[in-house]
Copies of this chain bind each other. A is one copy, B any other.
C-alpha cells in the first residue's frame, strides 16, 4: 500500500473531478448535479465538502498542477478500469480508495453523479493511464425489448415474415446477369404470394387480411433480403394490384384481384412517359372511346410519348395504363385502363411494343421497360371506373365534377406506395448502419505508441459523429412512417389530402437521408464497403432511385410546401394558385413568436435536451418560412408578376419550407410516440435518440437560425458540442441500437460483420 496525500473522503471524488474538468461541457445544471450529490453525501466532513466545492467553481477552476496531481494519484494506484462493471467509474474510485486507505466503501452519491451526468467509460478510459479492461458494447439495454417497441402491434406479422426470410430461396448472392436475376426475383415474389403475403393488403374476400400497415412493415424488412425483391413485390401487389383495388370496382376486383395476389396474373403500372416524367397530367397517351365498337382505343401518339421505366414490363400479362380519356370527342382527363399486353404463350399482343430498359445502377432484378401502344382496343369494362365511368349510353360520368379534384383523388391512391418506398429506403439505411457499426465494433485502427492494441473504429469521435446521428434518425423515421401509414389506413378520415402532403415531404427527406446514410456507411467501411459481398454496395445502387420514383423528391417537396402554404386546402397545382393566394392572406397576419435574447442564448443542458425547445425551433422555422414566402409571393403578384412565375421565383425557398415542415412533422410524431413507452428505461433511451436527432437536424439549418437571431453564436456552438457528446454517450449502446432493428441473422451475410 502506498499513501496518498488526499483523505479518503476527497480521494473517492478525484476520478470524477478529473473526468469533469478534462471535459468541456461543465454547464450550470451539471455543476448542480455534483453539488447536490456532495451536499447529500453524509460521509463527508464539512471541511472535505468545502474543499470539494472550491473545485467546482467555473470562474476559478482547479489549477493544472492540481489536475496533474489527481492524475498521478489515479495512475499510481495501479487499479484497473473494468468497463463492464455496472458503475465503472464509481467502482474505480472505490478501488482507488481501497488501494491507498485499505477501506472500500461504495458511495451511492458517486453512483448518482455517474448516472446523472451520463458519464461513459469511453469518455474517460483514455485519461487515467491505468489498465483498461475493455468492453466493445454494453448490455444495459435489450435489443429484443427495443425491437418489440418498434414493432408495436405488428409483432406477429413481422416475426413471421422474418422467419419466412430464412427460406433458402432468399439466400443472397451476387447477380450480374439481369435475365437470371429477374428470374430469381420473380420466383421469390411467387413464393411470397403462395404464403399469402402478396394479397395481405387486400380484403379478406380476395385472399388478404386488409393489413396495409403490416404490409408496409414487411416491405421494409424485405430490403434485408434484396432491394429488387422489395420493388418487384411493390409493383405487382402494390401498384398493379393496388390500382385494381383502389381505382377499380367490384367487377375488377372479382375478376383480377385474387389472381393478382397469387401472381397468377402478373401486371405492371404504366403511368410515367418518357417525355413527361413528373408531369402526369400532361401525359400524351390517349384512350379514346369508340361508341360503335364499345371499346376504348389506347394509343401512343409520338415516339417519346411511350410509357417509360415500367417495372414488371417484361414479365407482365397486363398493364394498368394511364391515359387521357376521350369520350364523345371530349378529353375527360387522365384515367386508368386495364390493357392486356401478352397472350398465354407470353407473346406480345398486336399493337403493343415493349423494349427492355437494360441495365441500371441497381435493382437489376426488376424488369423495367418501355411500352408503346398502337391503336390497341380493349372493352369498355377495362376502364378502372371508381372515380369516372363511361355509361352504357356511351357518355362520360363522374361523381367528382371538378377534373382537377378527380385527378388528384385518383393520384391520392399512390400515397401508400410512397410510404412503402420511404420505408424501403429506411430499411436500406438500417441495414447499412448495422453492417457498418458491427464492422466498426470489430475493426481496429492505428494506435497510441504506448498502447499495444489499436483502437476500435467505433471509438473515434469522427466515426461516432458519422454514424450515430443516422442511427437516431432511423428511430425517428421508423416511428413517423408507421404513424403515417396508420393515418392513411384510418377509415375514419376519408379525406387523405393532408396525409398526402405530409407523405410527399417525408418521402423526400427520408429517401435522401437513406442515401446519405448508406454512403456514409460505405465510406466508414473503407474499401471493404465497396465489395458486393458486404452488401452496402447493392444497397447504395438500389436505394439511389428511391429519390426519383414514386415522385421525384424535388417535385414532392414543392408539393409539400404548396400544401403548407395553402393550409392544405389547395389542389397542389398551378390551376389552384389563386386559391392558394387567397388563403395566404390569412396566414400573413399570423403572429410570429417574438425571439427573446435570453432564450436565444440559453445553453444549459436541461434546455438543450428539452423536447419543447426542439419542437419550438422546428415549428418556428416552418412558420417563419411560410410567412416570408407568402409575403414574397404576394409582393410579386402585386407588381403584376403572373402567379406561375411568382412561384418559380421562390422555388428554392419552397424547397426549404417543404423540408422544414417534414422535419417538424417527423420529430413531433416521434415525441408523441415516446410518451407512450411504458418503462422508464427505454423511454429515456428513445428520448435521448430523439434529442440527438433534433439537435442534429437543427444544426443542419444552424445558419438560418443564426440569421434569424433565433439562436446566438454561443448556443449554436453548444448545440454542436451536445451532438458530439450525445454520440459519445450512446457509444456503449450503439451495438444494441442496431441489433434492435431486428435484421435476421441469416440476412447478415456480410463477411465484415463476422
Which positions in A face B, CB cutoff 8 Å?
Answer: 21-22, 24, 64, 67-68, 71-72, 126-127, 129, 174, 176-178, 272, 275-279, 282, 308-309, 357-362, 443-450, 454, 460-462, 465, 515, 519, 522-523, 526-527, 529-533, 537, 540-541, 544-545, 547-549, 552-554, 574-575, 632, 636, 638-642, 644-645, 648-649, 651-652, 655, 699, 702-703, 706-709, 713-714, 716-717, 724
Contact = CB atoms under 8 A, between A and B. Distances in A.
Nearest to A703: B702
Q: Identify whether the interface residues of A are mostly helix, strand, loop, or mixed.
A: helix
A547 B309 CA distance: 31
A713 B707 CA distance: 4
Given A22-B641, A67-B640, A724-B652, A360 B702 contact: no
B554 A530 contact: no
9 contacts: A71-B640, A176-B177, A277-B443, A358-B532, A448-B645, A523-B553, A527-B545, A702-B706, A708-B713
Nearest to A71: B640
A638 B445 contact: no
B527 A309 contact: yes
A24 B644 CA distance: 18
Contacts of A515: 519
A176 B176 CA distance: 6
A278 B446 contact: yes
Contact of A461 (B276, B279, B652, B709): B652
Nearest to A364: B176
B127 A537 contact: no
Greatest chain B CB density within 10 A among A446, A537, A547, A648 is at A446
Contacts of A361: 522, 530-532, 537, 540-541
Contact of A67 (B277, B554, B639): B639
A358 B541 CA distance: 17
A220 B640 CA distance: 50
As for how many copies of this chain the complex holds, the number is 2
Nearest to A129: B642
A176 B462 CA distance: 36
A695 to B, nearest CB: 13
A454 B703 contact: no
A126 B526 contact: no
Contacts of A177: 176
Contact of A717 (B21, B532, B707): B707
A639 B126 CA distance: 13
B651 A460 contact: yes
A642 B177 CA distance: 55
Given A278-B446, A460-B648, A703-B706, A358 B533 contact: yes
A125 to B, nearest CB: 10
A675 B709 CA distance: 39
A639 B72 CA distance: 11
A61 to B, nearest CB: 10
B575 A449 contact: yes
A178 B175 CA distance: 12
Nearest to A577: B449
Given A64-B640, A450-B644, 13 more contacts: A71-B639, A129-B642, A176-B177, A279-B446, A359-B531, A360-B530, A361-B531, A361-B541, A523-B548, A527-B548, A699-B703, A702-B707, A703-B706
B530 A126 contact: no
Q: Nearest 3 A-B pairs (CB), nearest first? A: A361-B537, A702-B703, A706-B706
A358 B530 CA distance: 10
Given A446-B278, A706-B703, A707-B716, A527 B640 contact: no
Nearest to A549: B527
Given A282-B454, A652-B724, A174 B358 contact: yes
Given A532-B361, A638-B64, A645 B126 contact: yes
Nearest to A357: B531
A726 B449 CA distance: 51
Contact of A706 (B278, B360, B544, B716): B716
A461 B554 CA distance: 12
A278 B461 CA distance: 17
A123 to B, nearest CB: 10
Contacts of A519: 515, 519, 544
A724 B651 CA distance: 11
A366 to B, nearest CB: 11
Contact of A360 (B272, B359, B454, B537): B537
B527 A277 contact: yes
A448 B644 contact: yes
A359 B176 contact: yes
